[in-house]
């Protein structure tokens, strides 16, 4: 295993409907001979294990069980199972193009200071479905859409960081920062996020680079149950919670969060009224305002019950 260039890792929890296609897309990679595929089963209770076992004769494929729920926990488990210098994470409901891994490998081989890279993500709509008129392109990013154009570029604004569903990280860098932070990232039905944004902030602060690679293309299946306004409102609320946690981890907690949250609610409501005749922009700003309720609630909770697990105190969670 020490001769591997890259480990492709799928962290999955009860997504057996899409998982097989995700695995098959990784087993069918071209121009990348030295790679493996690791499936981290994060406490699934469906037929996930059977989906993997049906493909287990393939010499590249490995199955790892992780009972503790949490995307960041599962990602760290996948990293610990790998001895490759590069870790490429693909979501369990995504499909990689045949040259995905080779594109990622070339980028890291050409740049020793590259810590994180990710590629373009297009949306795969279920049969008979398309983007509804109330959903803006920016809001489609909540479904995984990610497109910064057709040219390779370095990311200097953490808000433009690559999507976690199409994400590659240098193993040495991940070890340097102690792994993915379990305070961020999805846990079961809790739609926590911002873990990639936080990783980009850490990388840039430490002098590493982060890149967007348009040719490292992945398609992401849109689950039909997500194409409704209530899911986006819930997603926005958890985005606010995640942003609050990220600020706490960065040492930016305190009363100023209450002011920031209040200003953001007012801004979102104002813009939703301003774009009252534009259903997509109106809804986008309403979701933004709603998300700040989650942000403020978490800020108050953090002030009353400060988190014990502060930056610098967390143990190294990767090997």
Instruction: Check: pTM over 0.85? Answer yes or no.
Output: no
Residue 274, Cβ neighbours under 10 Å: how many? 12
DSSP string over 183-209: TSS-BTTB----HHHHHHHHHHHTT-E
Q: Model confidence over 145-202: pLDDT tens digits? A: 999 999 999 999 988 999 999 999 999 999 999 999 887 755 555 445 567 888 999 9
Instruction: Select from 243, 269, 246, 249 the least CA-distant residue to 311.
Output: 249
Q: Model confidence over 99-151: pLDDT tens digits? A: 999 999 999 999 999 999 999 999 999 998 999 999 998 899 889 999 999 99
Q: Model confidence over 240-266: pLDDT tens digits? A: 888 888 787 777 777 888 988 899 999
Note whether 27 and 108 are within 8 A (CB).
no
Q: Distance between CA atoms of 123 and 146, rounded to whole angstroms?
A: 9
* CA dihedral for 258, 264, 266, 272, sign (positive or negative): negative
Note whether 258 and 293 are within 8 A (CB).
no
41-77 per-residue burial string, b: 16 or more CB within 10 A, e: under 16: bbbbeeebeebbeebeeeeebbbbebeeebbbbbbbb
């Amino acid at each position: 295993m020490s001769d591997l260039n890259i480990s492709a890792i799928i962290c999955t929890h009860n997504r057996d409907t899409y998982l097989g296609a995700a695995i098959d897309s990784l087993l069918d990679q071209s121009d990348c001979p030295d790679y493996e595929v690791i499936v981290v089963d994060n406490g699934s209770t469906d037929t996930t294990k059977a989906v993997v076992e049906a493909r287990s004769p393939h010499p590249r494929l490995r199955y790892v069980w992780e009972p503790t729920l949490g995307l960041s926990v599962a990602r760290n488990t996948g990293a610990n199972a790998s001895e490759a210098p590069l870790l490429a994470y693909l979501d369990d409901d995504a499909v990689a193009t045949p040259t995905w891994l080779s594109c990622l490998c070339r980028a890291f081989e050409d740049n020793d200071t590259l810590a994180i890279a990710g590629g373009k993500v297009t949306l795969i709509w279920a049969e008979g479905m398309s983007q509804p008129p109330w959903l803006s392109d920016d809001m489609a990013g909540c479904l995984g859409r990610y497109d910064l154009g057709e040219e390779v570029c370095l990311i200097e604004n953490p808000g433009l960081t690559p999507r976690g569903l199409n994400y590659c990280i240098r193993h040495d860098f991940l070890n340097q920062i102690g792994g993915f932070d379990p305070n961020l990232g999805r846990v079961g039905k809790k739609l926590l996020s911002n873990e990639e944004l936080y990783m980009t902030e850490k990388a840039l602060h430490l002098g590493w680079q982060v890149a967007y690679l348009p040719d490292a293309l992945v398609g992401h299946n849109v689950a039909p149950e997500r194409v409704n306004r209530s899911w986006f409102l819930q997603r926005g609320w958890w985005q606010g919670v995640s942003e609050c946690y990220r600020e706490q981890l960065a040492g930016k907690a305190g009363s100023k969060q209450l002011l920031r949250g209040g200003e953001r609610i007012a801004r979102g409501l104002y813009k939703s009224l301003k774009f009252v005749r534009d259903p997509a922009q109106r809804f986008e700003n309403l979701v933004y305002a709603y998300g700040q309720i989650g942000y403020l609630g978490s800020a108050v909770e953090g002030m009353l019950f400060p988190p014990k697990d502060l930056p610098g105190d967390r143990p190294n969670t990767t090997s």
